[in-house]
């Protein structure tokens, strides 16, 4: 009788691949302004929904075969009030379980911000397409939750249900804000004011964030580099900032060929961020 031996080699390879199936320690940041942004009566402020996200990209076997799925560390959708002239932004509060992929409409009048949320297809069609009873129940729950518009009162800081006829009377497509200029303006707001605070989302030593800033190349999130500059590097002395700038140049000098070219290209924004602090 032949005794089969345990396939130790295959098992060892599997374990090595499994251990490699993890996510990068580098934190990537992003935010999205929804296309519902609307001006108030005198065109001095804009009400808008912003979804912020922090995630860690897959590495090792987790990247295959389709590039892998990022691990979300933090995500949030909130209603903001923005004043373009002063670049000031106010977060009204986090909205739990907000259906960000749905159609959103905003009416901003005086100190009241009305908003209406509806699915991209009719409710009946969504119910027909539901695959399970659980999906149907979720759709019914969302239909009930968003069957009426809502209103945020600046004075009381409260959100309550609003009358549909009031929303219809106040809503105007002409009040919608152009999305690209709005992105350009919001880009000048410190990321901490959008809730993207590194040490709250993903705490680790400041030195590690600075190392991320120095070594990141094409895989480095532009927003992460900006957040590190604003929140970790800005409080340092000018001599310490110059030392980081020197480290970036030295890091690039130790690379060769295409890798060196890529690093230098994707380090241009880092150098600009540092020079602004000097």
What residue ranges do the domains of the chain occupy?
24-195, 204-278
Q: Which two tokens stand for residue 196?
A: 């993207």
What is the model's pLDDT at position 45?
Answer: 98
The structure tokens 């929904």 sit at 49
pLDDT tens-digit series, residues 199-226: 999 999 999 999 999 988 655 789 999 9
CB 194 within 8 A of CB 205: no
| Residue with the larger pLDDT of the pair 123 and 63 | 123
DSSP state at residue 232: I
CA angle 121, 122, 123 (to 5 degrees): 115
Length of the chain as a residue count: 278
pLDDT tens-digit series, residues 126-185: 777 777 888 788 777 877 888 899 999 999 999 999 999 999 999 999 999 999 999 999
Going by DSSP bridges, is the β-strand pair 112-118/103-109 parallel, antiparallel, or unpaired?
Answer: antiparallel
Q: pTM for the full model?
A: 0.82
Q: What average pLDDT does the segment 22-32 reach?
A: 86
| Residue with the larger pLDDT of the pair 143 and 10 | 143
pLDDT band at residue 4 using 50, 70 and 90 as cut-offs: very low
pLDDT tens-digit series, residues 226-249: 999 999 999 999 999 999 999 999
Distance CA 38, CA 20 (A): 46
End-to-end CA distance of the chain: 78
pLDDT tens-digit series, residues 55-113: 987 765 545 554 567 788 999 999 999 999 999 999 998 887 777 778 899 999 999 99
């Amino acid at each position: 009788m032949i005794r089969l031996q345990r396939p130790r080699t295959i098992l060892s390879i599997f374990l090595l691949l499994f251990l490699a199936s993890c996510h990068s320690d580098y934190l990537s940041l992003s935010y999205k302004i929804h296309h519902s942004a609307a001006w108030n009566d005198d065109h001095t402020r804009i009400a808008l929904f912003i979804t912020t996200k922090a995630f860690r990209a897959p590495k090792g076997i987790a990247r295959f075969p389709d590039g892998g799925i990022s691990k979300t560390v933090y995500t949030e959708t909130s209603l903001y009030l923005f004043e373009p002239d002063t670049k000031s932004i106010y977060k009204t509060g986090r909205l739990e379980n907000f259906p960000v992929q749905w159609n959103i409409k905003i009416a901003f009048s005086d100190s009241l911000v009305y908003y209406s949320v509806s699915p991209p297809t009719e409710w009946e069609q969504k119910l027909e397409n539901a695959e399970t009873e659980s999906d149907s129940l979720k759709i019914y729950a969302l239909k009930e939750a968003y069957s009426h518009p809502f209103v945020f009162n600046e004075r009381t800081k409260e959100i309550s249900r609003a009358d549909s006829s009031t929303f219809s009377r106040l809503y105007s497509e002409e009040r919608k804000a152009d999305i690209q200029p709005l992105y350009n303006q919001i880009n000048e707001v410190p990321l901490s004011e959008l809730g993207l605070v590194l040490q709250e989302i993903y705490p680790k030593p400041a030195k590690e964030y600075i190392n991320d800033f120095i070594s990141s190349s094409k895989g480095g999130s532009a927003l992460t580099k900006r957040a590190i500059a604003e929140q970790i590097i800005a409080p340092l002395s000018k001599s310490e900032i110059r030392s980081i700038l020197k480290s970036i140049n030295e890091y690039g000098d130790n690379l060769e060929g295409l890798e060196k070219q890529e690093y230098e290209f994707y380090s241009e924004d880092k150098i600009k961020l540092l020079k602004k602090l000097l």
